[in-house]
Structure 1
Amino acid sequence: MASDESATTVTPTDGIDSVSALGEESRRRMFAFVRRAGRPVTRDEAAASVGISRKLAAFHLDKLVGVGLLRTHFGTPDAPDAPRKVGRRPRLYEPTDAQITVSIPDRRHELLAELLLDAVLAQSGEQPATDTAVQVAGRRGRALGGADRDAARPGRLGAERGLTMCERMLEAYGFEPTREAPAEVRLRNCPFHPLAAKAPALVCGMNHAFLTGYLDGLEVTGVEAVLDPAPGECCVRLRSAAG
């Protein structure tokens, strides 16, 4: 629906918060109603869909906005039987494109799928597909590291400061980093498991290239990503290059 006011979009929080927000039955039913409506809905419509008061419906709807499952703006309802009130236009709610995935430990199969898709699109036939996949992963890592460096503007990054910045990305991507020494980080989780177990040479090679590329893009000196597989952990470890 077009509106002359900008929609307010809230960045989705993690999947656990989203799932928790849907634990309440009325809230879950209203969310399903909004998704099925195919248009922005008013608080009155959402309240009527589950048989609760408008005030309580507003509370639940705003909870869903807060975790990024719905977005809201003011506008004119599309429903032909919707009441037309004089004055301020009603608040409308519609679903975001957020997808909820909860996995403990964290899995990032969507990242691996994106890298493999990019590798297929980049494949020229002049080199093995696995080599293309590794190169694509390296480029993605360098781009991410470069973007993080541009955002933080950290100046020169030695091993310890560089690994501190790396830990933020590693945590966000589900690697569960553990600082075992000032210049060494062990990755306690493989975000690509169990797919990595089916094709370890390919997936671990891409993972190693991705993390090496990230270090390059972040311009960290004195740190390297090394293949060091361990049962139940990521196949890569970050350590001092002198190690």
Structure 2
Amino acid sequence: MEIFNWMPLIVVVLALLFYMFRILREYERGVIFMLGRFYKVKGPGLIIVIPFLQQMVKVDLRTRVLDVPTQDVISRDNVSVKVSAVIYFRVVDAQKAIINVEDFFEATSQLSQTTLRAILGQHELDEMLAERKRLNDGIQTILDEQSAAWGIKVTNVEIKHVDLDESMIRAIAKQAEAERTRRAKVIHATGELEASEKLLTAAQTLTQQSESMQLRYLQTLTEIASDRSNTIVFPLPMDVLKKLQS
């Protein structure tokens, strides 16, 4: 009967011991408060929390993935697009993450949304589509600087989708087609210019040397003679006849 009388006390002692000894994993830290005031950060491994005097808040230090909801963004050239992104971050200072902000995950999420709209709104649509790497780095730098006070380290930012409406897609397709047509015309004009320059050089060479002109006439006669289906009258320059008579 005496054992049963001691049972409540034994249960209380065991509960206190269970509450006192905590085991934190390698990626966990415990922020300890002593009578409401910050005491220290403990972990990983076995730690002791004094009942009634100390309280512990557990913090996970692993990298977290934050899916930023689709945001309506107006680019610098007044194009309305819908942009979604993903943010990778982790807690590097457990004390700041618990004391300086109420909910660091929600705070990081809201900061990511506002920063995404602000940064992309400073760039044109072509930059959003063609220079994502530079935009990702710029957003990451700003997020990392502003979240440092919360003990947060933003490790990576990736813009996932830049969605356009149908009218804008058609406009971009027309612009791309016009650009291809322009390049084709430029290439054709460049070829014509180079060919004319070559022909001019050849003409100047032939006029400077009469023997070259005579050889060109003879070559032309040879090419025409190969076609026996027609009778061709070809003028023969007098200087050629003089050369033959001499």
The answer, yes or no, to whether TM exceeds 0.5 is no
Q: Considering Cα pairs closer than 8 Å and 6+ residues apart, tell me whether 1 or 2 has the greater RCO.
A: 1
User: Which of these two proteins has the greater Rg computed from alpha carbons?
Assistant: 2
Instruction: State the TM-score, normalized to the length of structure 2.
Output: 0.20
Instruction: State the TM-score, normalized to the length of structure 1.
Output: 0.20
- The structure richer in helix per residue is 2
- The structure richer in strand per residue is 2
